[in-house]
Amino acid sequence: MPVFKSPVGNKLARDAGQVWPAPWEDKNPYGNVYEINGHEARHPGADLNIAGGDLNEKVFSMGPGVVEFAKEIGGDSLWGNVVIINHGIVDGKPLYSRYAHLLSIEPGIKKGAEVTADKLIGRVGSGPAGSGMDPHLHFDISTTDKLAENAGDWPGMNQARLQTDYVDPKKWLKASHVINRDATGAQVTAEPAGPGPMGRTLRTTGIPVTASIIDWFVIARPTTELRKELSKPTGNTLPFSFSFPLESNPQLVLHERFLWVQISDGPLKGHWVKYSNESKSEIYVSSTRPAS
């Protein structure tokens, strides 16, 4: 199962599994009863906002898939421009994500187009002209084929329908970061608490990793930065490969745009190791001691 991410926020935060990445907040959470067009409804997804304004902010596909729908839903509806992505069968069920009230849809985002995770699909808007809505992203996730049948599907006050056709997007995205598979297809069955990048980047020996019963070893490569103190970079980079144990629930800290993990034991206890995809630093985690 691929990893799915927040549709808003910067890449680091989305990669780290933050839902929702600050300064985004959900002003109308899943299941919330609210009033729309003079009627009460239970909200099937999230209304993602930035307090200072979010018009024209980027909206990304939450994961790989194929565009199912990408156009304006007209008439009297408040939908405006809507994109729906079909993510295929995930965990034995259909999976669709919907992004609504968009200011614009990106060129190339058309029915049948393939998208990758992180693909820019549109910009945050406020629905059709004259809607009176504040700009925000309406985002929801369905695990049935409802959104393929009707792009404007809306369960209204029907709670049974809501629970059948829509999932809590925050919970679902968080779970996606935990239940993950590494490059070999081996399922990583446990992930450290916290921002969550380890689950995505674990390279295991192919054996399912259960954090509670193993000691993990991290191999720092020559490009992996190691610091004695998080805030003092000078002179702390070690120019060789080595490995060391890491506790099963390492503390992860966001610092200088990188995620850092502190070594919990051994001769390098207390040092910090930088985690980053972009810098090509690599942290390997293994259930057996790797050769240095």
Please tell me the distance from the alpha carbon of residue 221 to that of residue 51, in angstroms, as a whole number.
41
Two structure tokens written together for 235: 């002179």
- For 113, half-sphere exposure in the C-beta direction (CA atoms, 13 angstrom radius) is 17
- Window of 131-139, 151-159, 229-237, 245-253 that interacts with Zn ion by CB under 5 A: 131-139
CA dist 280 → 36, 197, 203, 234, 243 (Å): 48, 15, 14, 20, 17
Tokens 């994109």 correspond to 83
Q: How far is the CB of 209 from Zn ion (least distance, A)?
A: 38
Between 47 and 225, whose beta carbon lies closer to Zn ion?
47
- Window of 29-37, 50-58, 138-146, 190-198 that interacts with Zn ion by CB under 5 A: 138-146
Between 2 and 29, whose beta carbon lies closer to Zn ion?
29
Q: How far is the CB of 133 from Zn ion (least distance, A)?
A: 9
**138 near Zn ion, judged by CB under 5 A:** yes
**101 near Zn ion, judged by CB under 5 A:** no
Q: How far is the CB of 28 from Zn ion (least distance, A)?
A: 6
Residue nearest to Zn ion (CB): 138
Please tell me the distance from the alpha carbon of residue 230 to that of residue 63, in angstroms, as a whole number.
32
Q: How far is the CB of 48 from Zn ion (least distance, A)?
A: 9
Between 17 and 80, whose beta carbon lies closer to Zn ion?
80
Q: Are 272 and 230 in contact (CB under 8 A)?
A: yes
Tell me how far the alpha carbon of residue 84 is from its chain's centroid: 17
How open is the CA angle 99-201-170, to the nearest 5 degrees?
A: 30
- Window of 67-75, 108-116, 130-138, 266-274 that interacts with Zn ion by CB under 5 A: 130-138
Residue 278 DSSP class = T
Between 101 and 177, whose beta carbon lies closer to Zn ion?
101
Q: Where does residue 250 rank: exposed (0-12), middle (13-18), buried (19+ CB within 10 A)? A: buried
Q: Are 124 and 135 in contact (CB under 8 A)?
A: yes
Between 140 and 225, whose beta carbon lies closer to Zn ion?
140
Residue 212 DSSP class = G
- Window of 104-112, 132-140, 241-249, 275-283 that interacts with Zn ion by CB under 5 A: 132-140
Please tell me the distance from the alpha carbon of residue 45 to that of residue 69, in angstroms, as a whole number.
18
Q: How far is the CB of 50 from Zn ion (least distance, A)?
A: 15
- Site size toward Zn ion (CB under 5 A) is 2
Q: How far is the CB of 157 from Zn ion (least distance, A)?
A: 15
Please tell me the distance from the alpha carbon of residue 222 to that of residue 65, in angstroms, as a whole number.
36
Between 3 and 59, whose beta carbon lies closer to Zn ion?
59
Rg (CA), the chain: 21
Please tell me the distance from the alpha carbon of residue 264 to that of residue 94, in angstroms, as a whole number.
41
Residue 232 DSSP class = B
- Window of 9-17, 124-132, 136-144, 200-208 that interacts with Zn ion by CB under 5 A: 136-144
Q: How far is the CB of 187 from Zn ion (least distance, A)?
A: 33
Between 119 and 136, whose beta carbon lies closer to Zn ion?
136
Between 138 and 200, whose beta carbon lies closer to Zn ion?
138
**47 near Zn ion, judged by CB under 5 A:** yes
Question: By the criterion CB under 5 A, which residues form the site for Zn ion?
Answer: 47, 138
